Amino acid sequence: MAKLNWGMIGGGEGSQIGPAHRISAAMDGIYTMAAGALDVNAEKGRDYARRLGVPADRAYGDWREMLDGERARADRVDLVTVATPNATHCEITKAFLEAGINVLCEKPMTVTVDQAEDIVATAKKSGSICAVNYGYSGYALVRHMRAMVARGDLGKIRLIKAEFAHGFHADAADLDNPRVRWRYDPAQAGISAQFADCGIHALHMASFVAGQNPSELSADFVSCLEGRALEDDATVNFRMDGGAVLRLWTSSVAIGRMHGLAIQVFGEKGGLRWAQEWPNQLYWTPLNGRTQIMERGGPDLSPEADRASRVTIGHAEGMPLAFANIYADLAEAIAAKKQGRAIDPLADHYPKAIDGLRSIAAIAAAVESARNHGQWTDARPPSLR
């Protein structure tokens, strides 16, 4: 596999998501961190990039400088990861795509549906690859669930339960804590808090595994802590375009729950259960049969799962390896594009701009439904109605 140059925007010193991206991109030895604009503070960003090994002339002060700098180089970055505040995703992503540079954008891809439609259109027009980091979809056993559904092991999917419930915003003493407060402030967070932050991971996973997208939805948003303008807990019921019902719960006040991303999929011929916190086991129950434990790395999984496994059975794999699978998929997608050939179908599982758009449309629809006391609301992006 040819080496690729990689750049990062955002993810500066002290950020949570920055290290996860760097670990995941570095792991397979394909990506070299060649450029970066890591911080809103230009000097801090340059300094940190240099300390991370980025050559001085590619340690940029901001993303515009980086765009200009990279555009001018023959060895310009093959992929840029955008991990800046949500409100800036659209402008940055669009600019790089238009410059012919592939982008992996953090979720949520944009703040408004119009922006998301814009990104999708830009990616299409430019021919650049635009991925969105629903990184949990990179877990080997999540890939395996998708493969099982796709090849018909479950028959028609009837029902999906998806959750993302943690308890880290439950302390009333944190209402004025800057680390927490901005998330529930419409001026900073937009129209939705917990659903836009965590709920869409659960939604994407349901869509990814079931191969179905939301048609309409009914939402119930609540703010469990007084004084919060945005929801810290929500349930959303969906009707999916392939006929399944999706029931989704997300919460940030579920004290004792750590991460809580989990999915259950029920079809005519069997049921599946998986949880992100214990990602190396998948529970599969065929209709009228016993529950079986599928182990990551086992000899009896799909090619999709095998491709996404790095160490032998019984050795735990975790989230950075799931993220690394997104990067590995993108490496193949970029190589295929460069070589003018079709992508290996086993690598074509990374989340794309269209998936990002669908999430943003679902956020807008859920907010509208919640305001209308749960009224059923069209969840599709305008361009896909």
CA distance linking residue 201 with residue 3, whole number of Å: 30
Span 211-250, contacts to a copy of itself by CB under 8 A: 218, 220, 222, 224-225, 233, 235, 237, 245, 247, 249
- The half-sphere exposure of 218 on its side-chain side, counting CA atoms within 13 A, is 8
Span 275-314, contacts to a copy of itself by CB under 8 A: 276-280, 283-288, 290-295, 298, 300, 310-314
Strand partners, 263: 162, 274
Between 19 and 100, CB nearer to a copy of itself: 19
CB of 278 to a copy of itself, least distance (A): 6
Judge whether 362 and 217 are in contact, CB under 8 Å: yes
Between 95 and 141, CB nearer to a copy of itself: 141
Task: Residue 143: name the closest of 237, 236, 332, 272 by CA.
Answer: 272
Binding residue count for a copy of itself, defined by CB under 8 A:
86
CA distance linking residue 267 with residue 210, whole number of Å: 10
Between 122 and 252, CB nearer to a copy of itself: 252
Between 207 and 251, CB nearer to a copy of itself: 251
Among 62, 121, 241, 374, binds a copy of itself (CB under 8 A): 374
Q: Is 75 in the site for a copy of itself (CB under 8 A)?
A: no
Between 115 and 252, CB nearer to a copy of itself: 252
End-to-end CA distance of the chain: 40
Between 354 and 366, CB nearer to a copy of itself: 366
Strand partners, 9: 37, 82
Contacts with a copy of itself, 148-187, as mask; x by CB under 8 A: ----------xx-x----xx--xxx---------------
Q: Is 15 in the site for a copy of itself (CB under 8 A)?
A: no
Among 183, 259, 337, 380, binds a copy of itself (CB under 8 A): 259
Between 288 and 340, CB nearer to a copy of itself: 288
- Dihedral sign, CA of 62, 67, 73, 75? positive
Residue recorded with tokens 């460069």? 338
Name the segment binding a copy of itself (CB under 8 A); options: 40-48, 50-58, 61-69, 344-352. Answer: 50-58
Q: Is 204 in the site for a copy of itself (CB under 8 A)?
A: no
Strand, coil or helix: what is 271? strand
Among 10, 270, 351, 356, binds a copy of itself (CB under 8 A): 270
Between 24 and 126, CB nearer to a copy of itself: 24
CA distance linking residue 211 with residue 313, whole number of Å: 27
CB of 89 to a copy of itself, least distance (A): 21
Query: Using the 8-state DSSP alphabet, how is residue 38 labeled?
Result: -
* Centroid of chain to Cα 241: 21
CA distance linking residue 17 with residue 356, whole number of Å: 18
Judge whether 335 and 28 are in contact, CB under 8 Å: no
